[in-house]
Each structure stands twice: as structure tokens, then as C-alpha cells.
Structure 1
């Protein structure tokens, strides 16, 4: 089941497009849904992350996080207010650069 879910996530395919090598998509989805409801997906992720960090010689738990708001979009898929303002400022600067300079 885990291999089937990993294949689905890695390939970005739909549930119904699972190859015949794996159990039926409905069984795989039922397991995934049950695991997610019980918090096991998060548990799997956290344990794997801890193992990778320890293998790399770092602390198992991260001590800091970085939030990148550059590419964030609001719930409707539109750019956030900050990104719109930055885009407007770039457009104004480009427009100013095209204007003729006064001669002295």
C-alpha cells in the first residue's frame, strides 16, 4: 500500500490511473484516507524527515523555519497584495525609464 501511495504522489497521477501492479485504486485510497484521518501520514513524514536529518549529521527536529511569501497566492489563485504592489512598482519604473530625459 505504501508503495502504491508513493507511486501516486511521485507520478502526480489520479487514483483511478494506478497501474495494475498495485491493488485496486479504491483499496489504496481507502487505506490512505484512513491513515490520513488517524494522523499517520503526518507521522510517516515526520519520522522520515528525522531519519534524513540524523543521517546528514543534524538534529532530528528542525530548529528554525523559513516562510517564503514571494510565490504565495490567495485562495482564489490571484497574487497576494504584496506581489501586486511589487509588480506595479516594476511597471512604473520601466515606464519612467522610457520617458525622455530633460536636457540641461
Structure 2
């Protein structure tokens, strides 16, 4: 059990996004919840795919599922649904009516080609911008 693992309640909210569109082929060897937990472990720890702990499925299997779910937009759909549920839970409309542009200055290595200077924060590096709703969720 890792900190990045989903609880049964959280998994129930997004499980339908990770099920196959049809039932052709053999029964899956690994449970989708374990594969999603492995992907969340990689995301949280920043570990390399090959450094995935042995109690998860093989890294090639986990990466294969991650790649195909990413190409099909499964992650975006799951996150969008979770954002809608969170907005409704906090008394907001399901979709935001406006967005807020936020920026962050990030220090980069001194030999990076893409480097600038943020005069307000006196930081050399890169500035990134995101658009969020009033709750801080990405739009």
C-alpha cells in the first residue's frame, strides 16, 4: 500500500473510464486498479518506469496502459469528471464560467537555452502560465 494508491471510493468514481470498450480477447492478467495505482505512484514519486516497485505489474505493462489511455484521452476524461464532481460538491456549476490566468517562475539550469529573467521575482529561468477556475482546478 502506497500513499499514491486510490481508495475504493475514489476508484469507484473513475473506474468506468479505464474499462475496455469491448470484451474481445483474453481476460486481463492485471487488475486495472493496480495499473492505475502504479501510474499514480510514478506520477507522485517521479520515479523512472524501470524503477517501479516489484509489487506492481511489470513496468512495460504499466507503461503500455498509460500510453494507450493517454492517446485515447482517458486521463483527461477522468480528470474532467472529477473536477465537475468537486465543483458540484462545493456548490458551483459543473463547468466554470470564467478562468484565471496564473503564472509561476521556475529556476532552470544556468546552461539552458530557454532562459529569461523575471524582474518582479528576480529569478532567472522559465515562466509558465496556466488557466484555472475559481477553485484552482486546471481548465
Determine if the TM-score, normalized by the shorter chain, exceeds 0.5: yes
Whether 1:34 and 2:71 are equivalent positions in the alignment is no
Point out where structure 1 has 5 or more consecutive residues left out of the alignment: 88-104
1:18 alignment partner, one of 40, 46, 52: 52
Q: Which moved more, 1:55-64 or 1:37-46?
A: 55-64
Q: Distance in 1 between matches of 2:88 and 2:68?
A: 29
Report the number of matched residues.
84
Compute the RMSD of aligned alpha carbons: 2.4
Matches within 5 A, 1:1-104: 1-71=35-105, 76-79=113-116, 83-84=118-119, 87=122
Which structure is higher in helix share?
1
Q: Which has the larger radius of gyration?
A: 1
Relative to structure 1, the CA distance from residue 68 to residue 77 in structure 2 (aligned partners, 3 Å threshold; closer, same or farther) is farther
TM-score (norm 1): 0.66
In 2, are the aligned partners of 1:16 and 1:25 still within 8 Å (CA)? yes
Q: Which moved more, 1:37-46 or 1:52-61?
A: 52-61
Task: Determine helix, strand or coil for the equivalent of 1:63.
Answer: coil
Larger RCO (CA within 8 A; separation ≥ 6): 2
